[in-house]
Amino acid sequence: MINLTKQDSEQSHTSSVSAFTTNAGNDNTSVLPTVNDSPAMVVCEKHEGNKKIEAFCLADKELLCIDCILADNHRSGSHEVVTIVKAVEKEKAELTARYKTSKDVTNSLGEQNEKIERHLTNLK
C-alpha cells in the first residue's frame, strides 16, 4: 500500500492505493499510481512526517524516502538505488524486451502449429 497526497491550493487530500505489482518469478515490480489522474506526491509508509519518495531500490524493488535511503542496506552500497525516472526507464526496457521475446515465441509456436496441421492433413 502506498499513501498518495494530492495537494491543491487550499487543501490536501490523502488516500491509500495499492501499487500494481507484476510477478515474474521472484521479481516483484511496483508501478507508481496517480490520484484522480493528477500528479500525486507519493509518501513513505515506513517513516512518519509524510517523507516524499525520492528513489527506488533495484534489489528490494522498493520505493524509498530519504530515511529509507540512509538505512543500512541502502547506505552501505550493497543495494543499487536509482532515481524513480531511471527505475521506470529500466523497467520499461525490461518489459519491452520480455514482450518482444514473448511475441517471437508466440509467432514461432504459431508457425509450428501450422506445420503440424499441414502434416496431419497430408496423413489423411
Q: Along the 124 residues of the chain, how does pLDDT read in single tens digits?
A: 344 444 443 444 443 333 433 344 444 444 444 444 555 678 888 887 788 888 999 888 888 998 888 876 777 777 888 999 999 999 999 999 999 999 999 999 999 999 999 999 999 7
Q: What are 23's three cell numbers?
A: 510477478
Structural domains in the chain (count): 1
Q: What is the pTM of this model?
A: 0.54
C-alpha to C-alpha distance for 53 and 82, rounded to whole angstroms: 12
Task: Name the residue range of residue 85's domain.
Answer: 2-123
Please say whether the dihedral angle defined by the alpha carbons of residues 94, 95, 96 and 101, taken in this order, is positive or negative. positive
Q: Are 64 and 53 in contact (CB under 8 A)?
A: yes
